[in-house]
Amino acid sequence: MSQAAALPVRGETAVAKRRTFAIISHPDAGKTTLTEKLLLNGGAIHLAGDVKARGERRRARSDWMEIERKRGISVTTSVMTFEAGEHVFNLLDTPGHEDFSEDTYRTLTAVDSAVMVIDAAKGIEPQTRKLFEVCRLRDVPIVTFINKMDREARESLEMLDEIAETLALDVTPLLWPIGMGRNFRGCYDLVNDRLMVFAEADRKRFGAVIACEGPDDDRIGQVLDTEEHAKLVEDIEFVRGVCPPFDLEAYRGGHLTPVLFGSALRDFAVTELLATVGAYAPPPRTQPAEPRAVTPEEPAVTGFVFKVQANMDPKHRDRIAFFRICSGRFERGMKLTHVRSGKTMAVHNPIFFFAQDRGLAEDAYAGDIVGIPNHGTLRVGDALTEGEALRFTGIPNFAPEILRRVRLLDPMRAKHLRRALEDLAEEGVTQMFKPLIGAGWIVGVVGALQLDVLAARIAAEYEVEASFEAAPYETARWVTAADAGEMKRFIDSNQGSMAEDRDDNPVFMARNSWSLTRAMQDWPKITFSATCERS
């Protein structure tokens, strides 16, 4: 092969540079602080605090976000694109409240890797674990950042043990902490054999990097006191003995997590974290689709919608579809086929999420996220292509864990209520089900907070007063059968428990887990699914 032929073309280089990732964590572990510092390190924002300040302004604009403000949480997700070194990073924010919604899960379908932030004093908390399980389903590789080392923390070895045991992962520390809390002196870089310490006079900021031959190097003895140095030598010998060396393939396969210790607040090890994601995290991955998988280097544009946010401006019924590009080079004004309807749509006003300057980007590549304004055409799971009839797989609806009957306070507003429920279902705030028998709607949510969001938004945006009453069902399952006759018999025999979802798919509503198990035993030819792929 000639040398010229071996050179990558522009699109290939652009794809190879991209790192599309999300931060997964439990509330309060430091995700917001870390995001700010990552953006700062990437040169994307100039003032720390911008992420929060921007959030506050956005919150002030919209009524329903009262809930977020009151509860001190952020429900909306967003995309931040920034460049650092030779990489373009797309950081997708996952809402971090305890009762998280399907949005959170779906955002993870649009990333190629994740950073898991753990509070050094608390270890792995429930939300982190849930999000981790979603990552594992898709083999999303994870870099771990153990945050708040500047506070009293648990023993570092104990933390590694917990990650390895709870999450069944191999762990490889890349940075090893020296001390903790008031005595946090810095970290030893196990990959490059160097010492990273805070400035002597001012423990608040990262100070110097000292190159060395190994942990017992004399140059370290000049910075650390004898006791600190002896412990460091002992720790590193032990850690190198018990932890496997870093293995890129194991990490990218989701079996091993590299671990960094640091402090987001003090901007310690944040640059190293970004460098780790840049160096090791995978570039845009091949996306599962039917009838064939899509590789990011393909020239034709393809992608899918993983999130729809309606009514960003309450005065207009506008929506933004968040579109993950899976292949090709996307340009402003481009005509794409909306595969579900077969119609062509011209994308005149795409939103590029460059944190520095939104207006600049004119094109985007595999791994990038583009916001597409529309009036309800685009739904979660929809594919856009340059003509090929593709369907991206693995973008699920989750069986709701809470079901409620919707009660309308003013019957004259029934149409508005239906519209509101449909819109919000499209956005993924809730799911709606129409029972086969009886009037009214049943809404299903994965977390209780979604109900509050739903009620507040229906009131604020659609001026409909509705309340939610207990429904006699505990859970729901999508039902399918290879044999249409069997399906009909099942539906006829269970009329009182049957409903249809928004796309007319049959759903079995179970009164409790016992009745679900019973139905599954009685009807072995019917498949009961806890997730339903968006069609």
Q: Which of residues 291-330 bind ligand G4P (CB under 6 A)?
A: none
Residues 6+ apart with CB under 8 A from 41: 84, 267, 270, 271, 274
Residue number, 98 or 500, with CB nearest to ligand G4P = 98
Residue number, 24 or 516, with CB nearest to ligand G4P = 24
Which tokens hold the place of 8? Answer: 């990558």
DSSP-derived letter for residue 328 is S
- Residue 497 touches ligand G4P, criterion: CB under 6 A: no
- Residue 263 touches ligand G4P, criterion: CB under 6 A: yes
Helix/strand/coil for 252? helix
- Residue 130 touches ligand G4P, criterion: CB under 6 A: no
**Secondary structure element (H or E) that encloses residue 290, with its range:** strand 289-290
- Residue 264 touches ligand G4P, criterion: CB under 6 A: yes
Residue 1 among known ligand-binding residues: no
Which span (26-34, 404-412, 481-489, 502-510) binds ligand G4P, by CB under 6 A? 26-34
Name the amino acid, one letter, at 184.
F
- Residue 31 touches ligand G4P, criterion: CB under 6 A: yes
Which tokens hold the place of 449? Answer: 């907070």
Which span (6-14, 142-150, 246-254, 449-457) binds ligand G4P, by CB under 6 A? 142-150
DSSP-derived letter for residue 181 is G
Which tokens hold the place of 406? Answer: 């919707």
- Residue 25 touches ligand G4P, criterion: CB under 6 A: yes
Residue where the block lists tokens 């997590």: 257
Residue number, 55 or 444, with CB nearest to ligand G4P = 55
In angstroms, give the least distance from the CB of 65 to ligand G4P: 16
Q: Which of residues 387-426 bind ligand G4P (CB under 6 A)?
A: none
Helix/strand/coil for 44? coil
- Residue 29 touches ligand G4P, criterion: CB under 6 A: yes
Taking CB under 6 A as the criterion, the residue among 33, 94, 430, 497 binding ligand G4P is 33
- Residue 177 touches ligand G4P, criterion: CB under 6 A: no
- Residue 30 touches ligand G4P, criterion: CB under 6 A: yes
Taking CB under 6 A as the criterion, the residue among 12, 28, 162, 298 binding ligand G4P is 28
- Residue 228 touches ligand G4P, criterion: CB under 6 A: no
Q: CA torsion sign, 125 to 126 to 130 to 133?
A: positive
Residue number, 146 or 369, with CB nearest to ligand G4P = 146
Q: Which of residues 86-125 bind ligand G4P (CB under 6 A)?
A: 96
Q: Do you know the residue count of the chain?
A: 535
In angstroms, give the least distance from the CB of 100 to ligand G4P: 12
In angstroms, give the least distance from the CB of 27 to ligand G4P: 4
Q: Which of 96, 249, 257 is nearest to 163 (CA)?
A: 257
Residue number, 199 or 389, with CB nearest to ligand G4P = 199
Taking CB under 6 A as the criterion, the residue among 130, 138, 151, 405 binding ligand G4P is 151
In angstroms, give the least distance from the CB of 265 to ligand G4P: 3
What's the rounded Cα separation, in Å, for the pair 502 and 290? 23
DSSP of 339-400, one letter per residue? TTTTEEEE--SPEE-BSS-TT---EEETT-EEEEEESS---TT-EEESS---EE---EEE--
- Burial (CB < 10 A; 0-12, 13-18, 19+), residue 342, is exposed
Residue 150's φ and ψ, nearest 5 degrees, are: -80, 0
Cβ–Cβ under 8 Å, residues 144 and 257: yes
Distances (CA, A) of 186 to 196, 211, 316: 6, 14, 51
Please confirm whether the linkage preceding 291 is cis (ω < 30° from 0).
yes
Cβ–Cβ under 8 Å, residues 410 and 443: no
Residue number, 128 or 337, with CB nearest to ligand G4P = 128
Residue number, 115 or 140, with CB nearest to ligand G4P = 115
Q: Which of 4, 16, 3, 9 is nearest to 282 (CA)?
A: 16
Which span (28-36, 228-236, 412-420, 512-520) binds ligand G4P, by CB under 6 A? 28-36
Q: Which of 181, 146, 138, 136 is nearest to 25 (CA)?
A: 146
Residue 113 among known ligand-binding residues: no
Q: Which of 68, 54, 52 is nearest to 457 (CA)?
A: 68
In angstroms, give the least distance from the CB of 193 to ligand G4P: 25
In angstroms, give the least distance from the CB of 355 to ligand G4P: 17
Q: How far is CA 403 from the centre of its chain?
A: 25
- Residue 147 touches ligand G4P, criterion: CB under 6 A: yes
Which span (145-153, 200-208, 307-315, 356-364) binds ligand G4P, by CB under 6 A? 145-153
Residue number, 32 or 374, with CB nearest to ligand G4P = 32
Between β-strands 506-510 and 87-92, what pairing exists: parallel, antiparallel or unpaired?
unpaired
- Residue 215 touches ligand G4P, criterion: CB under 6 A: no
- Residue 148 touches ligand G4P, criterion: CB under 6 A: yes
Cβ–Cβ under 8 Å, residues 154 and 121: yes
In angstroms, give the least distance from the CB of 285 to ligand G4P: 26
Residue number, 15 or 143, with CB nearest to ligand G4P = 143
Footprint of ligand G4P (CB under 6 A): 25, 27-33, 96, 147-148, 150-151, 263-266
Residues annotated within a binding site for GTP: 25-32, 93-97, 147-150
Which residue positions form the known binding site?
25-32, 93-97, 147-150
